[in-house]
Amino acid sequence: MAEVGKRVGVAIDFSVGSKKALRWALDNLLRIGDHLILITVLPQHGYESGEMQLWETTGSPLIPYADFSNPIIMKKYGVVPDAETLELVKDLTQEREIVPLLKIFWGDPREKLCESVDNIPLSCLVIGHRGLGTLKRVFLGSVSNHVMTNASCPVTVVP
């Protein structure tokens, strides 16, 4: 029997790879009544707001679509969602009665994505793959490999 009202996390940085992961989650995982939690991780430096300092360890509150589609509200968080992602989320979540939310973390994406699994909590996590070659992956590290190895829920890596 399928889990009802599961929380499906999708790591999103508004890149081509993360949009593929979002599309894959919408096409293959999400069902009526589920929650789509878009998770974005921003660099730890470069913010001054007291609210962001309060949320540094736990991340922002869950932000509903009406707020994360509003550029004025998102400016406060330092996030600029692209129109293509917003349109995709709007169309498919309304059509399938899925509740879309956004959660913002600050810090190392590898650590924060793993922490989000337990903090939210998530039923599963979908993450895009940047397609780094072997050498670049050795020097830069692979966020998807780290999350797949260390997250406490099922992780799907979309190429």
What pLDDT digit, counting tens, does each position of 134-156 carry?
444 444 457 888 888 888 899 99
Higher pLDDT, 122 or 46: 122
* Per-residue pLDDT at 21: 93
Residue 149: per-residue pLDDT: 86
Query: What token pair was written down for 14?
Result: 């508004």
Joined tokens for residue 73: 């509200």
Quote the CA–CA distance of 159 and 143 in Å, as a whole number. 13
What is the domain range of residue 85?
Answer: 7-158
Locate tokens 């999708």: which residue?
A: 10
Domain presence at residue 153: yes
Asked, for residue 2, whether it belongs to a domain, the answer is no
- Side-chain-side CA neighbours of 124 within 13 Å: the count stands at 17
Report how many domains make up the chain: 1
> CB count, 10 Å around CB of 1?
3
In a domain, 1, yes or no: no
As a whole number, the mean pLDDT across the chain is: 83
Q: Which residue is listed with tokens 């797949």? A: 148
The verdict on residue 144 lying in a domain is yes
| CATH number for 50 | 3.40.50.620
Q: What is the C-alpha separation between 30 and 8, in angstroms, rounded? A: 7
CB 128 within 8 A of CB 25: no
DSSP 3-state of 4: coil
Instruction: Give a yes or no: residue 50 inside a domain.
Output: yes
What's the order of all strands across the beta sheet hosting 63-64? 63-64, 99-106, 35-42, 7-11, 124-128, 155-158
**What is the reported pTM?**
0.85
Distance CA 39, CA 62 (A): 10
- Are 150 and 121 within 8 A, CB to CB? no
The predicted-structure confidence for 17-66, as pLDDT tens digits, reads as follows: 889 999 999 999 998 889 999 999 988 765 555 556 667 778 889 999 99
State the Cα angle at 87 between 93 and 38, rounded to 5°.
60
